[in-house]
Amino acid sequence: MKQLPGNRKPEIEYPCAWTYKLFGTDEAELREAVARIMPMDGYDLSLSRSSRHGKYLCMNLTLTVVSEEDRTSVYEALHAHDSILLVL
């Protein structure tokens, strides 16, 4: 990804590996949500961090996206799921 000056969007060369950060309260629910949204085996889902008291956790979802539309549609599907509180 090449960062451009000003307010222009970065240039992303597709296909490329892309990582989404998913925040939620239950690891099993996050894993189930991703499995429902991404039924194929082409992704890696790993625990990243959890809050000090264990109330919240963050997981990294890495997969290959083939276009901006593909990247955006995955983001929107993740964002719409009730078990996922935040997607970055």
Give dist(CA 44, CA 63) in Å, integer: 7
Q: Binning pLDDT at 50, 70 and 90, where does residue 54 land?
A: confident
Kindly state the tokens that stand for 32: 């189930």
Domain ranges of the chain: 16-87
More confident residue, 12 or 8: 12
Write the CATH number of the domain with boundaries 16-87.
3.30.70.260
As a whole number, mean pLDDT of residues 49-70 equals 91
Give dist(CA 85, CA 68) in Å, integer: 23
Whole-number average pLDDT of the chain = 90
Residue 5: pLDDT over 90: no
> What is the per-residue pLDDT across 64-73, written as a single tens digit (0 to 9) for each?
999 999 999 9
Residue 14: pLDDT over 90: yes
